[in-house]
Amino acid sequence: MSTITQVAAILKTTDKELERIGEKILAEERITAEEGLTLFEKGTLSYLGALANHVRERRHGNKTYFNRNFHIEPTNVCVFTCQFCSYSRLYAHRDEGWELSQQQMMDIVKGYDGKPVTEVHIVGGVHPKMNLEFFTELLGKIKTHRPDLHIKGFTAVELDYMFRKAKLTVEEGMKKLHAAGLDSMPGGGAEIFHPDVRNVICADKVDAEGWLKIHEAAHREGMHTNATMLYGHIETYAHRIDHMQRLRDLQDRTGGFNTFIPLKFRNKDNDMSHVTESSIIEDMKLYAVARLYMDNFPHLKAYWPMLGRQNAQLTLSFGVNDLDGTIDDTTKIYSMAGSEEQTPSLTTAQLVSLIKQVGREPVERDTLYNEIKNYKDVDLNAISQDPSLN
């Protein structure tokens, strides 16, 4: 059955309100905040999944993107006290954490010499001594060593702190980092924008307006950025819609966002351990509504280290068209919060086969979604025996 027939069949069996929203989506009309809320409240998994899959295939066909990247986490020492964070150590307890020197970070970069990675993702805690100067120097060193490596770095939370300490405006700070070699920004630190939730889970870091202002400045500088949403804790459906609405509004103004990345709250070893994690069904519904609501975001990403590999495969039927990357990493932010993925690293062959196993077309991309290689017709045995893909 084609997607269209499938969707049509489902639309017939549901209530009038859902049917009307579904028809709007099929006609490529934007849905309102109220309609988004209705999808969360009344949409069944199969209904939302069929619609989201239709939209995903309308945009991207069967393509599922990934990139070859590695992460650097400069420190887990952090001046902030986000309740959901299992990873940070306060400055007063910095002996329990780690702080990498520029040399140590350059050693990590040099460890990838000759390997076909295209991106380094740099993100960590907010350390009071790792300032704008420290990071502009680091960016310069990375670019001198490997000019073609795309540097995606720093959440709006880290930048807000750095710019304020350096007494620079957001625009001035962003120009400086861009000139030093920063190519784009990841989407972290967004959490839930609504103050009723933000003031409970991460009261002391940059607020919604500050986060959005930094991303807007990056877009005006000609850089692309991502946006996240930490979901599945104390927020309501209305808070999720409010969050997505603010992002959709900014995207209407700038067009600078590449990817929306819902991040599932994990509850191990943090101050929100009493909060039950969301079910897989709720996770899939969230991905589907995100695909339907964020109509001006080209890409929807599932971050497999947090969801687990099989659930990440499942999201590919609920609107997702990107699985981040091979990551090859010592990333601790999720393993410390209870993710199944204790060693978040996949070879290219493993990632390609995960995507192929669910009938999708693996496409290696760079950070800006330029296609590097389509693996549709590549034999899995050939991939696993190719040393450059391990």
Using CB under 6 A as the binding rule, whether residue 153 contacts ligand SF4 is answered as no
**CB 253, CB 215: distance < 8 Å:** no
- Provide the minimum distance between the beta carbon of 85 and ligand SF4 in the complex, in angstroms, as a whole number: 3
Tokens of 152: 């995606």
d(CA 268, CA 283): 18
Distances (CA, A) of 372 to 63, 118, 177, 321, 369: 13, 10, 27, 16, 9
The three-state secondary structure class of 316 is coil
- Provide the minimum distance between the beta carbon of 215 and ligand V47 in the complex, in angstroms, as a whole number: 11
Using CB under 6 A as the binding rule, whether residue 266 contacts ligand V47 is answered as yes
Q: Which of residues 112-151 bind ligand SF4 (CB under 6 A)?
A: 125-126
**CB 321, CB 61: distance < 8 Å:** no
Using CB under 6 A as the binding rule, whether residue 375 contacts ligand V47 is answered as no
Q: CB 15: neighbour CB atoms within 10 A?
A: 10
N-to-C CA span, the chain: 37
Pick from 73, 160, 191, 329: which binds ligand V47 (CB under 6 A)?
A: 191
Query: Which of ligand SF4, ligand V47, none binds 261 (CB below 5-8 Å, type-dependent)?
Result: ligand V47
Pick from 72, 138, 197, 230: which binds ligand V47 (CB under 6 A)?
A: 230
Per-residue binding letters, 105-144, with ligand V47 (x by CB under 6 A): ----------------------------------------
Question: Could you tell me which of 375, 374, 311 has the C-alpha nearest to residue 339?
Answer: 311
CA dihedral sign, ordered 128, 132, 138, 142: positive
User: What is the bridge-based pairing of β-strands 361-365 and 184-185?
Assistant: unpaired
**CB 227, CB 256: distance < 8 Å:** no
Residue with the closest Cβ to ligand V47? Answer: 188
Query: Which of ligand SF4, ligand V47, none binds 125 (CB below 5-8 Å, type-dependent)?
Result: ligand SF4
Which residue, 47 or 193, has its beta carbon nearer to ligand SF4?
A: 193
Which residue, 54 or 150, has its beta carbon nearer to ligand V47?
A: 150
| Whole-number CA gyration radius for the chain | 20
Using CB under 6 A as the binding rule, whether residue 219 contacts ligand SF4 is answered as no
Contacts of 34 (CB under 8 A, 6+ apart): none
# binding residues, ligand V47 (CB under 6 A): 21
- Provide the minimum distance between the beta carbon of 270 and ligand V47 in the complex, in angstroms, as a whole number: 5
Contacts of 147 (CB under 8 A, 6+ apart): none
Using CB under 6 A as the binding rule, whether residue 157 contacts ligand SF4 is answered as yes
Which residue, 126 or 149, has its beta carbon nearer to ligand SF4?
A: 126
Using CB under 6 A as the binding rule, whether residue 85 contacts ligand SF4 is answered as yes
Pick from 173, 188, 262, 319: which binds ligand V47 (CB under 6 A)?
A: 188
Binding site for ligand V47 (CB under 6 A): 84-86, 186-189, 191, 226, 228, 230, 261, 263, 265-266, 270, 303, 306, 324, 333, 337
Which residues are at the interface with ligand SF4 (CB under 6 A)?
A: 78, 80, 82, 85, 87-88, 125-126, 157, 202, 205
